[in-house]
């Protein structure tokens, strides 16, 4: 009997280790009068030629776009990749990676990226064409895409919404643990959970989803509008406390095959602010990718402040946060919080609020304690006089190297055999292209070291054009081979 107890305890400990329970990254949360609509597209997992997919959403008439993101799951070391959304060129690269890197078996270090497409979404347009370029097969590519749109409409009821993104290594069991919503769920209306994933190719390769301790079912691609192994993703719109399915989804508790949407209000309680999620590979593998979970739900809790704008940028090798409020109710002070992984935040400063205000008020804060080579996440916490607080969505700040140190050094020039390119700080998505004086491309490659060398001795004497891209900034040099 004692041996059995020991073995049971050992098995339980191993299970805890295997599940890797870590709270996931809250990327975006909001509450407002209006609605939310989402849908996605994935090419065939081994697609290597250009392809176009169609994403269909549903935006209520008379609305304006509050916030919109095009999310993408990246497998491995994918190069900067240009896609088009209704003809608008968007570039997925290191500047829009919004999660910490995590490992998958397809290319190693992977991540979720997000591009803010608020300004290019037309509230009168519900069909979007997503054009994808040729990419490498299976690994080192941007594979799955999801369009999230939140829209304002004063004629509609209040909606709460949240986007949680993965930050765990791919594993057989990926326990996202307890996710905290910034607003309470009102079970008099609907509560919708939408799965955003990829590479679930067959039933044996599916993903079991457990929400609040209840198994919802097994999701499996291919999504109806995607290529083989594409998705699955949930497609829906939510307004006036009602969730409505789009595409191949249904509004019910269970998920099944490509139907990746759940109406989960029967699994929660009125006023709840937490949801637990657990994913498990149906066949015992570790090659699936639950990129994110999207929530839209009825709520009755108005925010004490309304942020009309919020941004963070590098200024004089410091981080400058700027935000504006349209209204403030019982607002005591703001706390500026910073994180290096998008999950664990610490206080770095605070500013006094306006109490009660019904006009635009502008605020700014300068954080001079950053390390220039690091990526940071910032958020603003607002605290009432009665000690209640709400927190904004995190914003990412890429490394603030400073313009002088950011530029690569190219030497010797002229040169006879070796051209060196060096950086004072780590290069970010850096690459070079060497062209003849007439513009013909003759050489290209990545620059992933502090010190990089290019072999030129096979070239004829003369002058050449060197183009360097680093973190989205381009430099051009005239090179003389003698």
- pLDDT value of position 401: 66
Query: Phi and psi of 294, rounded to 5°?
Result: -115, 135
**Domain-embedded: residue 210:** yes
Query: Looking at the 3D structure of the chain, how many domains does it have?
Result: 3
What DSSP designation does 135 have? -
Residues 283 and 209 placed together within one structural domain of the fold = yes
Cα(233)–Cα(383) distance, rounded to whole angstroms? 36
**Domain-embedded: residue 453:** yes
**Domain-embedded: residue 351:** yes
If you average pLDDT over every residue of the chain, what do you get?
Answer: 87
Residues 408 and 322 placed together within one structural domain of the fold = no
Residues 76 and 185 placed together within one structural domain of the fold = yes
- pLDDT value of position 57: 98
Inter-residue contact 299 to 31 (CB < 8 Å): yes
In CATH, what number is assigned to the domain containing residue 452? 2.60.40.1220
Report the SS3 class of residue 196. Answer: strand
**Domain-embedded: residue 62:** yes
Render 21-35 in DSSP notation, one character per residue.
--PPEEEEEEEEEEE
Cα(384)–Cα(334) distance, rounded to whole angstroms? 9
Residues for the chain: how many in total? 482
**Domain-embedded: residue 1:** no
Residues 360 and 408 placed together within one structural domain of the fold = no
397, 414, 435: which is the final residue of a domain? 397
Cα(9)–Cα(133) distance, rounded to whole angstroms? 51
Instruction: Of 378, 299, 289, 287, give the one whose Cα is nearest residue 341.
Output: 378
User: Could you tell me the residue range of the domain that residue 55 belongs to?
Assistant: 21-298
- Encode pLDDT of 333-379 as tens digits: 999 999 998 878 899 999 999 988 878 889 999 999 998 878 899 99
369, 397, 425: which is the final residue of a domain? 397
Residues 263 and 362 placed together within one structural domain of the fold = no
Inter-residue contact 25 to 163 (CB < 8 Å): no
**Mean pLDDT, residues 450-469 taken together:** 88
Residues 167 and 202 placed together within one structural domain of the fold = yes
Confidence class of residue 300 from pLDDT cuts 50, 70 and 90?
A: confident
Please say if the pLDDT value at position 1 is more than 70.
no
Residues 225 and 251 placed together within one structural domain of the fold = yes
Cα(187)–Cα(152) distance, rounded to whole angstroms? 22
- pLDDT value of position 151: 95
**The most confident of 93-102, 311-320, 460-469, by mean pLDDT:** 93-102
- pLDDT value of position 302: 58
Cα(302)–Cα(186) distance, rounded to whole angstroms? 12
Report the SS3 class of residue 414. Answer: coil
Residues 318 and 346 placed together within one structural domain of the fold = yes
In CATH, what number is assigned to the domain containing residue 327? 2.60.40.10
Residues 242 and 309 placed together within one structural domain of the fold = no
279, 298, 317: which is the final residue of a domain? 298
HSE-up of 209 (CA within 13 Å, CB side)?
32
Contacts 24+ apart (CB under 8 A), 241-245: 241/157, 241/159, 241/186, 241/188, 241/189, 241/190, 241/298, 242/189, 242/190, 243/190, 243/191, 243/192, 243/296, 244/58
Residues 222 and 353 placed together within one structural domain of the fold = no
Q: b/e map of 463-475 (b: 16 or more CB within 10 Å)?
A: ebbbebbbbeeee
Query: Phi and psi of 183, rounded to 5°?
Result: -135, 150
- pLDDT value of position 190: 97
**Domain-embedded: residue 81:** yes
Please say if the pLDDT value at position 319 is more than 80.
yes
Residues 357 and 293 placed together within one structural domain of the fold = no
């Amino acid at each position: 009997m004692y041996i059995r107890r020991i073995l049971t305890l050992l098995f339980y400990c191993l299970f805890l280790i295997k599940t890797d329970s870590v709270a996931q990254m809250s990327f975006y949360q909001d509450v407002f009068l209006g609605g939310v609509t989402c849908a996605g597209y994935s090419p065939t997992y081994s697609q290597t030629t250009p392809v176009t997919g169609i994403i269909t959403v549903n935006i209520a008439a008379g609305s304006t776009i509050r916030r919109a993101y095009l999310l993408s799951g990246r497998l491995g070391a994918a190069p900067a990749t240009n896609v088009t959304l209704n003809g608008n060129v968007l570039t997925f690269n290191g500047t829009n990676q919004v999660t910490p890197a995590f490992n998958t078996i397809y290319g190693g270090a992977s991540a979720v990226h997000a591009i803010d497409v608020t300004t290019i979404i037309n509230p009168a347009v519900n069909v979007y064409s997503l054009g994808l370029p040729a990419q490498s097969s299976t690994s080192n590519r941007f594979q799955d895409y999801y369009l999230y749109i939140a829209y304002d409409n004063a004629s509609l009821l209040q909606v709460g919404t949240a986007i949680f993104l993965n930050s765990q290594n791919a594993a057989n069991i990926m326990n996202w643990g307890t996710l905290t919503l910034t607003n309470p769920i009102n079970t008099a209306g609907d509560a919708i959970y939408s799965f955003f994933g990829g590479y679930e190719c067959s039933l044996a390769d599916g993903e079991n989803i457990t929400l609040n301790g209840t198994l919802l079912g097994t999701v499996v691609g291919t999504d109806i509008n995607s290529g083989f192994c594409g998705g699955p993703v949930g497609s829906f719109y939510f307004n006036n406390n009602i969730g409505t399915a789009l595409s191949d989804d249904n509004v019910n508790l269970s998920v099944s095959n490509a139907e990746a949407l759940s109406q989960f209000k029967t699994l929660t309680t009125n006023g709840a602010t937490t949801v637990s999620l657990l994913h498990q590979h149906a066949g015992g593998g570790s090659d699936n990718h639950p990129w994110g979970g999207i929530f839209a739900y009825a709520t009755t809790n108005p925010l004490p402040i309304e942020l009309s704008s919020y941004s963070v940028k590098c200024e004089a090798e410091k981080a400058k946060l700027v935000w504006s409020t349209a209204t403030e109710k019982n607002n005591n002070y703001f706390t500026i919080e910073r994180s290096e992984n998008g999950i664990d935040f610490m206080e770095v400063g605070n500013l006094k609020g306006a109490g009660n205000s019904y006009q635009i008020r502008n605020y700014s804060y300068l954080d001079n304690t950053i390390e220039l080579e690091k990526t940071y996440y910032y958020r603003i916490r607002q605290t009432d006089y009665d000690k209640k607080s709400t927190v904004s969505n995190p914003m990412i700040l890429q490394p603030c190297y400073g313009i002088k140190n950011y530029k690569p050094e190219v030497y010797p020039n002229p040169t006879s055999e070796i051209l060196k390119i060096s950086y004072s700080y780590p290069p970010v998505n850096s690459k070079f292209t060497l062209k003849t004086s007439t513009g013909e491309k003759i050489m290209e490659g990545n620059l992933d070291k502090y010190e990089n060398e290019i072999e030129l001795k096979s070239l004829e004497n003369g002058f050449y054009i060197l183009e360097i891209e680093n973190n989205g900034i381009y430099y051009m040099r005239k090179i003389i081979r003698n």
